Amino acid sequence: MDKADDRHIVISADGHCGASVTGYRDYLESSYLEDFDRWESTFEVPYEDMKGEEGSRNWDSDRRLRDLEEDGVVAEVLYPNTVPPFFSTSSLASGQAAVPNAEELRRRRAGLQAHNRWLADFCSQAKGRRAGVMQVLPHDIDAAVADVRAGVAAGLHGGVLLPGVPPGSGLPPLYHHDYYAPLWETCAELGIPINCHSGGSGPRTGDREEDDMFFLMEMKWWDQRTLRHLILGGVLERHPGLKFVFTEVGADWIPGLLKSMDRFFDSARTPSGLSGDEVTYHGSHVIDRLSLRPSEYWQRQCYVGASFLHPNETAKRGLVGVDKIMWGSDYPHIEASFPYSREAIRFALGGVPADEAAAMLAGNAAEVYGFSLDELRPVAARIGPGRDDVEAGLDPATLPPEAAKCPAFAGAMPGAATTQLGDNRKSVEK
């Protein structure tokens, strides 16, 4: 076997980055510099992992490449992490509340434009190994479309981060609304995906500890809601060339949700209804406008960035679609698999045939985000995890205690109920 074929190429479909606070200044239009200086003079970084020495992992290109190569990762998809100009918190979650006025909206758009320009430069420092996900504000849909075109022209091929528009945001909260059609049309035309990342869809209910807990627990529900609206609301029907990616929301919920939507679809299309506990939909029969069942839209146009991929999820790969799952490390977050990504990969994919593992580790992400596997293969030949090692799996009892920080090892650490090795050898198909 050729050395390059002896190791897996690993593309993380979930990485986070951003400039330091002052690092964004050079990427702002000159008319915003005085505003920026006033904002920056009072701004305090709200997140501990973005301060001090650890914070540089977000913007230090050389350090990031060293860390990821030590972890066996050759390329990554990059979502935002640090706070862009004129925001108070991460822009990933800032779309959950209404923008107070037109001037603030103008400033925030300028801040996101600065992030996109910075991101294009950051990706160019590791050509072919980074796919930057651009940010837009949907409050002015024509401006959002212009920003998408500018991002693609600058070299950002990671697609668009779908802004959160829950109730209270001041925007149509349902993505099947005609208001968003120009954005869908543009992304389909340019061949870039729409990315839904956990934390960006749901509203915050307050600032108490209980509110934080429920926000974390309900993230997945809001992403499920988004998928329902995109499919049953006809977005995927009207834009068959558009790709949607759901990242950092797990993969175990997908088969059940698709099954329930298929049942609803079948019931709505049956005049007399279905027997059992299903209820026939007697509305305007908008379901009749769909040419495919919900699960078929998923298979045609949707993907999951399965950060913290777990053996329980890998066992369902036949139901989700082996060609739909993309592994992710979530670097540089505290809960990331770094520096135990090799172990996380072995634990999640033990017993999985090498060709299926290769698809989930790199092939699918290369197709969605435009990476060249041929260009990445020489790097993987140096640092990638061995194919035989991955298929052999990992005994979780050998993991160091600090690995427990990552959800990829949930329930598997010493002292907890362990997952039996070999569970992934055959994918669940029914």
382, part of any domain: yes
Tens-binned pLDDT, residue by residue, of the chain (430 aa): 455 579 999 999 999 999 999 999 999 999 999 999 999 999 998 887 788 889 999 999 999 999 999 999 999 999 999 999 999 887 766 555 567 789 999 999 999 999 999 999 999 999 999 999 999 999 899 999 999 999 999 999 999 998 877 677 778 877 889 999 999 999 999 999 999 997 666 666 677 878 777 777 777 777 888 999 999 999 999 999 999 999 998 999 999 999 999 998 888 776 654 544 555 555 457 788 899 999 999 999 999 999 999 999 999 999 999 999 999 999 999 999 999 999 999 999 999 999 999 999 999 999 999 999 999 999 999 999 999 999 999 999 999 999 999 999 988 876 443 333 434 544 544 4
Residue 113 CA to residue 180 CA, distance in Å, equals 20
In the numeric block, the tokens 């390329």 are attached to 75
**pTM passes above 0.75:** yes
How far CA 233 is from CA of 162, 188, 225, 310, 342, in Å, comes to 16, 17, 11, 31, 40
H or E element that contains 302: strand 302-307
424, part of any domain: no
Total number of domains constituting the chain: 1
306, part of any domain: yes
Output the 3-class SS for 327-341. Answer: EECCCCCCCCCCCCH
248, part of any domain: yes
In the numeric block, the tokens 């979530």 are attached to 330
**Residue 411 Ramachandran class (φ > 0 left, ψ -120 to 50 alpha, else beta):** left
Q: What is the DSSP string of 151-213?
A: HHHTT--S-EEPPP--TTSSS-S-TTSGGGHHHHHHHHHHT--EEEETTSSSPP--SSHHHHH
418, part of any domain: no
Helices assigned H by DSSP within 252-310: 254-268, 294-301
Which pLDDT score is estimated for 70? 98
Question: Using an 8 Å Cβ cutoff, are 83 and 366 in contact?
Answer: no
Which CATH number is 273's domain given?
A: 3.20.20.140
Which pLDDT score is estimated for 429? 45
Which pLDDT score is estimated for 170? 76
426, part of any domain: no
425, part of any domain: no
430, part of any domain: no
Burial 228-259 (b: 16+ CB within 10 A, else e): bbbbbbbbbbebeebbbbbbbbbbbbbbebbe
How far CA 20 is from CA of 93, 245, 331, in Å, comes to 18, 27, 16
**Residue 68 Ramachandran class (φ > 0 left, ψ -120 to 50 alpha, else beta):** alpha
In the numeric block, the tokens 């072919």 are attached to 128
Question: 376 lies in which domain range?
Answer: 3-409
Type of residue found at 332: P
H or E element that contains 117: helix 102-124
Type of residue found at 116: N
